[in-house]
Structure 1
Amino acid sequence: MKKILIIGIGAGDPKYLTVQAIEALNAADVFFVMDKGAAKDKLVALRKEICARFIKDHDYRIVEATSPERRRDEGLDYEAAVDELNRDKQRVFERLIEEELTDGQCGAFLVWGDPSLYDSTIRILDSILADGRLAFDFEVIPGISSVQALAAKHRVPLNFIGKPVSITTGRRLAEGGFPHDVDSAVVMLDAQNAYAQIAGEALDIYWGAYVGTPDEILMAGRLEDVKDEIVRVRGQAREANGWIMDTYLLRKRGVKD
């Protein structure tokens, strides 16, 4: 039977790879790399660098495939657009598994950060198996997430003592404001600078872009004081690189820790 490994490769620094991830790399025969266009060539290059650095005395192939893009039509429901995107990805994954792997071989998807956090690779493979056309086994290898890397870089805990922390998206933050039942929240996938819309609240922000990579940018302070500078720096970085991957932590000011 064919086997698939979903390997979390960390948030950008090759040294974030775990021993388990390195062992998994050395067990794979074929690596599937989703190409998201020229603007994100660095993401493909990092995956190739990781393979070259950590795979020892083991033959392997890298197969690149064009990644479908999410439709951004005005008025299109976000969840419906994501469902459509995942169906398109499923067709690509099915083709790769069927055509590029022979029985008994092991293929691998190298997932940025951790596969369990805002990534659909697990869901897509589950859907392929549920359809019943292809048979394979798969295993998930956890990785260092951008959330963990952000907290480490800023030398700050995610939560207050004995208190929960929320992990949410920029879209939900913009729609509902800061979560009402927590004192700290990690925000991912914020394309519209949602933090700037809630700057009137007594919050501190710990922001990071391209965390763990040579392009890393870190900023922190009272949200009201630094929001405009983050917007400016974020815009410059996106223009310079053609893409941006950022995460931030918001914490209520004055909570006893």
Structure 2
Amino acid sequence: MRELWLVGIGTGNPDHLTLEGRRALREAALVLVPRKGSGKDDLADLRHAILESAGASAPVVEFDMPVRDETLPYLDRVYRWHEEIAHRWSDTIARNDVEGPVALLVWGDPGLYDSTLRIAERLTPAPRIRVVPGISALQALTAAHAIPFNMVNGAVTVTTGRRLRDHGWPDNAESVAIMLDGECSFRTLCAEGLTIWWGAFLGMAEQVLDFGPLDQAGPRIVETRAAARARHGWIMDTYLLRREIRR
């Protein structure tokens, strides 16, 4: 493999795929699709639907994603997980004797809170990496709620649920966008003066949204998220928090 193409596919809606992304999927020599285990078959199905909508004709090969070892410290478990994913990419590609670029479909945008680029750096020999940007969850969230990402001349802090739980509200932040939060970490905050805009399955037929003062919307979101995850077997969601600024 000399080239690896990482194609951002948005948040699950085939219409989120850019023209550049469609062209890349049509020109790839091989496409890798991960299988993420029982109850998550529709994640692979969505990737196949996107490939079909793009008119891709290259062979599509599925591989099983490894499971993280939750007994290890966080950074160690992520490091080993990435190592095993890279090994499975290499093994799958080698078994298919491909000539030409290999494509991977990446949820959202490959450059925003996604590990695909870091995993690709572990491949030996190192291929040439091409990144095709995609619509991020944050873009899809603000579009779904019809709100601006930032206030006038305002900054936005983008962070994770883990950091919000461990460190609380970022110092001097006005708007905070939260990624990768499976534990509704907004519950650890003092809700006074905070407004939340939340969304799951953004851009898809299953999309669910909620917003409002955090003390009122937060409990609703916890219940809605749990019900949606139980119904689908998985969930992808994100949210924006904004503090009322008195001027």
Could you state the TM-score of these two structures normalised by the residue count of structure 2?
A: 0.95
User: Any conservation in 2 of the 1:183–1:255 contact (CA below 8 Å)?
Assistant: no
Any unmatched runs of 5+ in structure 1? none
Q: Quote the residue 1:32 is aligned against.
A: 32
Q: Quote the residue 1:227 is aligned against.
A: 218
The Cα RMSD (Å) is: 1.5
Q: 1:69 aligns with which of 46, 67, 71?
A: 67
**2: CA distance, partners of 1:2 / 1:181:** 46
User: Any conservation in 1 of the 2:156–2:177 contact (CA below 8 Å)?
Assistant: yes
Letter in 2 for 1:67: M
Q: Quote the residue 1:206 is aligned against.
A: 197
Letter in 2 for 1:69: V
1:111 and 2:71 equivalent? no
The secondary structure found in structure 2 opposite 1:109 is strand
Letter in 1 for 2:52: A
**1: CA distance, partners of 2:37 / 2:126:** 30
Q: Quote the residue 1:123 is aligned against.
A: 118
The secondary structure found in structure 2 opposite 1:5 is strand
Q: Quote the residue 2:5 is aligned against.
A: 5
1:146 and 2:141 equivalent? no
1:10-51 deviation per Cα after TM superposition (whole angstroms, max 9, x unaligned): 111110111111111111121100100132111111110111
Q: Quote the residue 1:194 is aligned against.
A: 185
Q: Quote the residue 1:249 is aligned against.
A: 240
User: Any conservation in 2 of the 1:2–1:101 contact (CA below 8 Å)?
Assistant: no
**1: CA distance, partners of 2:227 / 2:217:** 15
User: Any conservation in 2 of the 1:183–1:251 contact (CA below 8 Å)?
Assistant: yes
% identical equivalent positions: 38
1:200-219 deviation per Cα after TM superposition (whole angstroms, max 9, x unaligned): 33110000011111111000
1:164 and 2:159 equivalent? no
Letter in 2 for 1:202: G
- The 1:255–1:188 alpha-carbon spacing in structure 2 relative to 1, beyond 3 Å, is farther
Any unmatched runs of 5+ in structure 2? none
**1: CA distance, partners of 2:192 / 2:80:** 36
**2: CA distance, partners of 1:12 / 1:3:** 25
Letter in 2 for 1:175: D
User: Any conservation in 2 of the 1:101–1:107 contact (CA below 8 Å)?
Assistant: no
Paired residues in the alignment total 247
**2: CA distance, partners of 1:165 / 1:137:** 33
Give, in angstroms, the shift of residue 135 of structure 1.
Answer: 4.9
The secondary structure found in structure 2 opposite 1:72 is coil
**1: CA distance, partners of 2:130 / 2:118:** 13
Letter in 2 for 1:225: Q
The secondary structure found in structure 2 opposite 1:244 is coil
Letter in 2 for 1:239: A
Q: Quote the residue 2:228 is aligned against.
A: 237
User: Any conservation in 1 of the 2:5–2:101 contact (CA below 8 Å)?
Assistant: yes
Could you state the TM-score of these two structures normalised by the residue count of structure 1?
A: 0.91
**Structure 1 segments (4+ residues) deviating >3 Å:** none
